[in-house]
Amino acid sequence: MHGILHKLLVEHKRLAKDYAMAHLLHVDSSIQGDRSISRTLSARAADRWRAANPDGTVTYRDLADDPLPHLGQAGAEARFVPADQHNEAQAASWALSVELIDEVAAADTILLGLPLYNFGPPSTVKAWVDYLIAPGLSMDPATGEGKLGGRELIVLHARGGGYGEGTPRAGWDHAQPWLPHGLSLTGLEPRFITAELTLADTNPQMAELRDLAKASLEAAEAEVDALWTTSAVA
């Protein structure tokens, strides 16, 4: 009897997973508005996701228009004080971590628009990551194991210059190598789609690089368009 009940329970969980409505978390961070390449690419990816998941739902967060407060002393203390002992400031910071982590936990797929500013990520993205790292919420405090793994995290990365091997500023992009390390405690593993030389069209000193910039953008767009290939969007 127990064997039959176990099989029924396993099958129920499988069916529930199969029929669960897909959910997307779409996060932008560029301060460039409609001129932003990272926003353009993340919007294109979101459209692609909707086409592949017509019954899916979406949560959108704009870290530029609605920036998070940087994690301060109260937020740091909240991570080492039991929740029932939080003071008002600690409780407010912890509640924000709960909100942001719940957004991630509810999503099957996460899109993050990530521009490169002064060779690093926007400070708003750093703040977002800081709030996502919370013992007991996004990571097991006993084992250190992340609790948010298994989700698809696609990062639409745009950088104004060229930072590849052999270029004068090779290795100066500190956003792309930082993000996987910053999120590692949560279990999230980002996949990057990158367009570079995005300033070539507006910077006269980069005019000779415009063809390379166009090719980089087209390659990124093609990579986005290849996401979630299904019969529904073939």
> Is 231 inside a domain boundary?
no
> What is the domain-level CATH number for residue 74?
3.40.50.360
Give tens-digit pLDDT for 191-225: 999 999 999 999 999 999 999 999 999 999 999 99
> Is 15 inside a domain boundary?
no
Which string of DSSP letters, residue by residue, matches 187-232?
T--EEEEEEE-TTTTT-GGGGGGHHHHHHHHHHHHHHHHTTT--TT
> Is 6 inside a domain boundary?
no
* Owning domain of residue 162: 22-225
- Token pair belonging to 214: 């166009």
Structural domain tally of the chain?
A: 1
Which string of DSSP letters, residue by residue, matches 112-136?
EEEE-BTTB--HHHHHHHHHH--BT
User: 61 by DSSP, 3-state: which?
Assistant: strand
Q: In the prediction, which pLDDT does 164 show?
A: 87
> Is 83 inside a domain boundary?
yes
pLDDT-flagged residues of the chain (< 70)? 1-19, 230-234
